[in-house]
Amino acid sequence: MSVRDVDQIVVEINQKLGNLAFKSSKSSIFKVDIHLRIDGGDSVYDPEIVAIGPYHRGKSHLQYMEEQKYRYLRRLLNRENEEIISYINVVVAMEERARKCYAEPTYLSSNEFLIMMVVDACFLIELIRSYGIKELRDDDDPIFRQERILSQLRHDIFLLENQLPFFLLNELFNMTKINDPKDDIITLTLRFADSIFLNFKVPEVVRKIPINNIDHIFGLVHWFLCFPFTESIPAREKHARNHVSDKWANIYSISGLREAGIKIERAEEKSSLLDITFKDGVLKIPRLKIFDETESQLRNLTAYEQYLSDGEPRYVSELMFFMHCLIKTPYDAKLLRCRGIIENWFAKDENVCLMFNRIGKNILTSSNFSYSQIFRYVNKQCSRRHIKWRATLRRNYFNSPWSIISFLAAAMLLLLTLLQTIYTILSYKHRSDKTP
């Protein structure tokens, strides 16, 4: 090979290196990897009506809301009596930091990126503000006149791929604050998600949110869902350190646990969605309402956690792994439904089973699995010899009402036969005693 050929190879490799997109270690807004999508592609991660940020920008079916974004921007400017240049100047100063939040390259010019940030951010601000403060709504606003549009927007702005950096959103929100005690970005965002996002309610906990650690509004909802559970984590971690060598294995499904004598009950309503407990042979699981959008919500939450740094807790993913272990058949889903643990507004028990099987595939849990202690205790109880025998009897001989009836009939027949035998023996003995 000539020197010229070698030089050409060097040039080609350097060109490839120069064309590599920059990826920041501080990225927080991701495109969902293909291995998390069913058969390589499904729609639970994609917006239905509005694109927020660069990943879905320009898609034809999302263009209807682009005009509505500018209507909201105009309304905001008119109310604030402000010029657009004020918002642009703020975003210009944040452009480099905002670009680093996106894990995938955007390929947008500086002007395109800045316009997108300003328009999308002002739209989100006006949307959540108008939802929480009704006096700000226009009478002819199609978003609040049509519940279908509002429902689709709620779905779309809580998707992992459809996010803006929270620090940018918060800065513009503070620039446009109105004189109303309800005008708080955390409270308004959570109230917008309230009752539709895994059915949580907004309590006093709002004031404890570490706003500087929030990546985006989807991350805010994730933090809020996990916060009540994290309150008990120090005690769990202390136990884990004391039992660092303990291993855990998967637990049986609900039907298997039931056969082993484990009782399954619904936890108290005040319990966190994640707060599963096991004590005195009773496994308590919080209620989970399942609607059409529940799978999308859960899979976006687990996808978000897959991109967290090593060592960071993945609470929702671990809950989904737990449920994946518990629900192996439609009968398992039925047992949970009959105990009020699953409130199914979605479809048949079979669909619930399939949903948890889909969610449970290809997800990572943290190295310090939140439910490892429960898994060990449950498996320990199931492994006791007398419980194993009882489970075998129930599975092989008492697995239906008819088998139980047959057993009782056979037991009754055996008892009558025994009594008859005893009676015959006693009668014979009595006659023998009378014989001289």
Name the residue with higher pLDDT: 143 or 346: 143
pLDDT at residue 245 in the model: 47
pLDDT at residue 365 in the model: 85
Please state the rounded mean pLDDT for residues 376-385.
84
| Token pair in block for residue 206 | 């709002």
pLDDT at residue 254 in the model: 96
pLDDT digits (tens, 9 = 90+) for 304-363: 999 988 778 899 999 999 999 999 999 999 999 999 999 988 778 999 999 999 998 888
Place of tokens 């005040």: 270
Tell whether 221 and 273 lie within a shared domain: no
Which of 392, 410, 425 is the last residue before a domain boundary? 392
Q: What is the mean pLDDT of the chain?
A: 85
Tell whether 72 and 212 lie within a shared domain: yes
Tell whether 78 and 154 lie within a shared domain: yes
Q: Rounded to two decimals, what is the model's pTM?
A: 0.82
- Asked if residue 132 has pLDDT above 60, the reply is yes
pLDDT at residue 385 in the model: 46
Which of 170, 194, 229 is the last residue before a domain boundary? 229
Return the minimum-mean-pLDDT range out of 40-44, 57-61, 95-99: 40-44
Contact (Cβ atoms closer than 8 angstroms) between residue 300 and residue 225: no
Name the residue with higher pLDDT: 366 or 231: 366
Which of 176, 198, 229 is the last residue before a domain boundary? 229
pLDDT at residue 206 in the model: 62
Tell whether 182 and 255 lie within a shared domain: no
pLDDT at residue 188 in the model: 94
| Token pair in block for residue 53 | 């940020």
pLDDT at residue 10 in the model: 65
CB atoms within 10 A of CB 320: 23
List CB contacts of 54: < 8 A, sequence separation 6 or more: 102, 106, 108, 113, 116
- The Cα–Cα gap between 177 and 109 comes to 30
pLDDT digits (tens, 9 = 90+) for 184-205: 999 999 999 886 666 566 655 5
CB atoms within 10 A of CB 21: 9
Q: Could you tell me where the DSSP H helices lie in 133-245?
A: 142-145, 147-156, 166-175, 185-193, 217-230, 233-242
Tell whether 181 and 309 lie within a shared domain: no
- Asked if residue 314 belongs to a domain, the reply is yes
| Token pair in block for residue 33 | 């990897």
- Asked if residue 19 has pLDDT above 60, the reply is no
CA distances from 430 to 135, 251, 416, 421, 434 (A): 99, 60, 21, 14, 7
Tell whether 205 and 279 lie within a shared domain: no
- Asked if residue 344 belongs to a domain, the reply is yes
* Residues in a beta bridge with 285: 266
pLDDT at residue 398 in the model: 54
Mutual angle of helices 385-397 and 372-382, in 10-degree steps: 70
Domain that holds residue 339: 251-392
Backbone angles phi and psi of 201, in degrees to 5: -120, 150
- Asked if residue 414 has pLDDT above 60, the reply is yes
Sign of the alpha-carbon dihedral angle for 88, 92, 97, 100: positive
Tell whether 287 and 208 lie within a shared domain: no
Tell whether 192 and 73 lie within a shared domain: yes
- The Cα–Cα gap between 326 and 322 comes to 6
pLDDT digits (tens, 9 = 90+) for 214-262: 999 999 999 988 887 877 665 555 455 455 445 788 999 999 999 888 9
- Asked if residue 390 has pLDDT above 70, the reply is no
Element (H, E) at 26: none
- Asked if residue 267 belongs to a domain, the reply is yes
- Asked if residue 427 belongs to a domain, the reply is no
User: Which among 19, 33, 165 has a CA at the least distance from the CA of 105?
Assistant: 19
Tell whether 317 and 266 lie within a shared domain: yes
pLDDT at residue 241 in the model: 46
Tell whether 192 and 267 lie within a shared domain: no
- Asked if residue 411 belongs to a domain, the reply is no
Tell whether 181 and 260 lie within a shared domain: no
- When pLDDT is cut at 50, 70 and 90, the band that residue 2 belongs to is confident
Tell whether 155 and 272 lie within a shared domain: no
- The Cα–Cα gap between 179 and 158 comes to 27
* Residues in a beta bridge with 284: 265, 277
- Asked if residue 431 has pLDDT above 70, the reply is no
pLDDT digits (tens, 9 = 90+) for 152-167: 999 999 999 999 999 9
List CB contacts of 83: < 8 A, sequence separation 6 or more: 77
Of the chain, the end-to-end C-alpha distance in Å amounts to: 126
pLDDT at residue 7 in the model: 66
pLDDT at residue 274 in the model: 92
Please state the rounded mean pLDDT for residues 40-46.
80
- When pLDDT is cut at 50, 70 and 90, the band that residue 75 belongs to is very high
Angle at 330 between CA 328 and CA 332, to 5 degrees: 60
The total number of structural domains that make up the chain: 2
| DSSP assignment of 242-262 | HTTT----PPPPHHHHHHTT-
